[in-house]
Amino acid sequence: MTDVAPMSQSPGNPHLLVIRSLLIRAAAVCVLLWVALVNGYPIVFSDTGSYLLTGEMLIALWPFRSPGYSIFTKLTGLGISAWLVVGVQAIIVVYVLDKTCEYLLGNQRRYREICLLASVSVLAALTSLPWLVSQLMPDVFAGIVFLSSFLLAFNDQLPARSRLSLAAILMISTGVHTSLLPIAALFVTLLIIIKLVVRLRRVATLRKAMLASLIVPLIAAGLSTATLNYRMHLGFKFSPSGQLFMMSRLFADGLAADFLRENCPKRPLIACSYLSNLPRTQTEFLFENHPLLEEMVEHQDEMDEIVHETLSTYKLRFLTSSIKETLLQFAAIRTGDEVRSYNAKEWNRAVVTQVFPGDFRAFQNSKESRGQFLPLANAAAAIDTVTFWLSVAICLAFICVKAVGRLNHFFYSAMAFLLINAAVCATFSGVFDRYQSRVAWLAALCATAFVCGRIKDRYCAKSLGQGL
């Protein structure tokens, strides 16, 4: 209620203004959930069951995932329904989008609310955002990491309560998936460097509140994740899986295989016994019951040794491969990878029955469970891909025609975040559509912000002309 309270409003009934604001935001939440509504139930993925069960029982399930999203599902689902989980996700997204519109377009509440609803409608119709909001996976929080950290860094006029709420959202967002903490850390470091450069050039202030609201949430997310892993008897570690995902990446590149072929004649490594049957992809190593996986899990020291020495031996090849993979990941924005690769129906069915027993019938009758959701996912993938590249072109066109400080900074920051996301995911895990589609919608948000800003400028110029 404090965020929708009328401030600097035109004369009118303040209660009606509050009701209107709440209705607009409620409509935006519903629009973002259209994928789940059409499906008849929130979208699930192969990892969904593990997140839900870990949250319910606080037990570690292989391969070890960040427990942050598990706790999020437990606290928001209340043991009642998965609909509550995706509903809270939608509310968080709408809140952060509202704060973004306020910063980019000004605090004229009526126009900002119109732009908020219009932007949400465009994003819901043409991007991956409604698919992310509607699924029981932490992917939606990747874009939230960008928006919350950008606002905390650049909006010096944030009220204390808004800064605290965005800092809390940043903490939650960075703790829900293992990849998001390093991505957030790199992006926040970039933002602080930019602020330092601006301070040197313009004698601007670098406020302690801004630094604290950016850094403290990341530290808190890392510590809370390590604490939860410790409680699950995995050790006080942020990532109990260690070098597992990096090793799978090195097998996919062929670097680990080359290292083993070169060193096995000289060293008695356990992995050498699989020299004629080495995995060639991440999926084959991690998810297809390859016998080498069990050996490496039981011999963490050897796995660490192979990873470190492979990287040391093939530095240039790894760097070249990482750059190539980053560019491929940047363009891998095909929405609906979760629907196309969903292959854990029995597992998820059993977990939903245990965690949300009242949802069992809806889960069983959903289009995804009956295999009827793939055509819509494929159609959305085509639309979203075109929207992404068109949005980038629109933003560049606006920048070339007219410089708009805040909007330009927002676009440049979004592109930097997308590149960081692609680099971290491709380097440490490999190229997968879902990693980049989780943030591709930010390009369309930039484009809608440019359009709304242009309309606002024309309207203000017209009003000023009439006043004169």
Q: Which residues contact 153 (CB under 8 A, 6 or more apart)?
A: 188, 191, 192, 194, 195, 210, 214
Q: Is the pLDDT of residue 98 over 90?
A: yes
Q: Which residues contact 314 (CB under 8 A, 6 or more apart)?
A: 255, 258, 259
* Residue type for position 30: C
| Rounded distance between C-alpha atoms, residue 128 and residue 384, angstroms | 6
Mean pLDDT of 90-119: 91
Which residue would you say has higher pLDDT here, 109 or 327? 327
| Rounded distance between C-alpha atoms, residue 274 and residue 266, angstroms | 16
Q: Please tell me the predicted confidence (pLDDT) of residue 200.
A: 54
CA dist 77 → 56, 224, 302, 346 (Å): 10, 20, 41, 21
| Rounded distance between C-alpha atoms, residue 387 and residue 406, angstroms | 22
Tokens of 383: 């639309």
| Rounded distance between C-alpha atoms, residue 452 and residue 101, angstroms | 9
Whole-prediction pTM:
0.90
Nearest to 145 by CA among 221, 254, 37: 221
Lowest mean pLDDT among 41-45, 57-61, 330-334: 57-61
Q: Is the pLDDT of residue 3 over 80?
A: no
* Report for 198-207, 398-407, 457-466: range of highest mean pLDDT: 398-407
Instruction: Give the DSSP letter of residue 10.
Output: P
Mean pLDDT of 25-47: 95
Mean pLDDT of 174-193: 94
| Rounded distance between C-alpha atoms, residue 160 and residue 151, angstroms | 13
* Residue type for position 463: S
Asked if 436 and 418 count as a contact pair (C-beta separation under 8 A), the reply is yes
In the chain, the percentage of residues whose pLDDT exceeds 90 is: 60
Which residue would you say has higher pLDDT here, 257 or 284? 257
Instruction: Give the DSSP letter of residue 243.
Output: T
Instruction: Give the DSSP letter of residue 43.
Output: B
Q: What is the pLDDT of residues 131-154, one digit of tens each?
A: 999 999 999 999 999 999 999 999
Asked if 105 and 112 count as a contact pair (C-beta separation under 8 A), the reply is yes
Mean pLDDT of 430-436: 89
In DSSP terms, 43 is beta-bridged to: 135
Nearest to 359 by CA among 83, 72, 149, 43: 83
Cβ burial 410-431 (10 Å sphere, 16+ → b, else e): bbebbbbbbbbbbbbbbbbbbb
| Rounded distance between C-alpha atoms, residue 159 and residue 156, angstroms | 9
Burial class of residue 5 (count of CB atoms within 10 Å of its CB; 0-12, 13-18, 19+): exposed
| Rounded distance between C-alpha atoms, residue 44 and residue 238, angstroms | 25
Q: Please tell me the predicted confidence (pLDDT) of residue 93.
A: 98
**How many Cα atoms occupy the beta-carbon half-sphere of 72 within 13 Å?**
30
Q: What is the pLDDT of residues 301-327, one digit of tens each?
A: 888 889 999 999 999 999 999 999 999
Asked if 183 and 145 count as a contact pair (C-beta separation under 8 A), the reply is yes
| Rounded distance between C-alpha atoms, residue 433 and residue 425, angstroms | 11
Cis status, amide bond into 291, omega within 30 of 0:
no
Tokens of 342: 């969903």
